[in-house]
Amino acid sequence: MNRRDTLKALGLTTLSAGLLVEACKPGENKEAVKEHEGAEPSVDEAGRQPFEVERDKELLKDKFFTDHEMHTITVLADIIIPADEKSGSASDAKVPDFIEFIVKDIPEHQVPMRGGLRWLDLQCANRFNKSFVDCSEDQRIEMVTEIAYPQKAKPEMQQGVIFFNRMRNLTASGFFTSKIGVRDIGYMGNSPGKWTGVPEEVLAQYGLQKYRNNS
C-alpha cells in the first residue's frame, strides 16, 4: 500500500486532524468520529464494546456533585491553572465538567473529593465565617497557600494537602488533555509522517552531535 493510498484509507488527504470519516461500503454503517469540544459529550460507539457504550450512557445520566461543590471545584481549578499569556484557564477548557465525569467514571475519587471539599469549607468557616467560594480572592489564596505546598504545610493541614494534590492532579489531567491544553503544552504528534530521528539543532543543543547519523 503506498503512502497516498494509506492516507486515503484514513480519510486524511488534507492531513487535518478534524473530521475523520471512514470510507463507506454498501451495506455498512457509516462511522463518523468527531472531535469533542468537551461541551456536549456523546458516546462514541465505534470500536467500543456494548458494555462500555451502556456504561457511558448511564454515567452521563447521573449527577454527582452539588451545585455548591461544582462552584468550589471551578474556583479551585482556576486558581490551580489560571489563564495566562499563552492559554485560557481550567474553566475555559471545561475542566470542572471533566472532573464531574471522572468521579463518576472512577468512583474512588468520590469520597476523597466530597470530603476534601467539605474540609475546605470548614476551614474557611472557622477562619473567615464563610464557605470557600464566598471568601474574597485574598482569603481564598491564603487558604490554598496553606495546603498547596506538601513540604512546608503544617501537620494539621495534612488532609488539605492530600485533597489539594488530588485536585491539582485532576485539574492538570483535565486541562492538558483538552484541545486548549494539548496545544498549550506543545504536543505535536498524532500526525502521520516519518520519524527521522532527533532534529539536528536539538542534537547540537545537548552536545549529542555524535549521534547525527544513527539518530
Give the shortest CB-194-to-other proteins separation in angstroms.
6
Give the shortest CB-134-to-other proteins separation in angstroms.
20
Q: First-to-last CA distance in the chain?
A: 27
Judged by CB under 8 A, the chain residues 4 through 33 that form the site for other proteins are 5-6, 9-10, 12, 17, 20, 22, 31, 33
Helical spans, DSSP H, in the chain:
3-9, 50-61, 67-80, 95-105, 110-128, 137-147, 158-176, 179-185, 200-205
Q: Which of residues 35, 58, 122, 127 is near other proteins by CB under 8 A?
A: 35
Judged by CB under 8 A, the chain residues 74 through 93 that form the site for other proteins are 79-82, 84
Q: Which of residues 68, 110, 111, 197 is near other proteins by CB under 8 A?
A: 197
Please work out the total of residues on this chain that contact other proteins, with binding judged by CB under 8 A: 84
Judged by CB under 8 A, the chain residues 177 through 196 that form the site for other proteins are 177-179, 181-182, 184-196
Taking alpha carbons only, the member of 51, 61, 59 closest to residue 106 is: 59
Binding of other proteins by 209 (CB under 8 A)? no
Residue 20: phi and psi, rounded to 5, are -120, 105
How far is 2 from 78, CA to CA, in rounded Å?
48
Judged by CB under 8 A, the chain residues 126 through 155 that form the site for other proteins are 144, 148-152
How far is 81 from 84, CA to CA, in rounded Å?
9
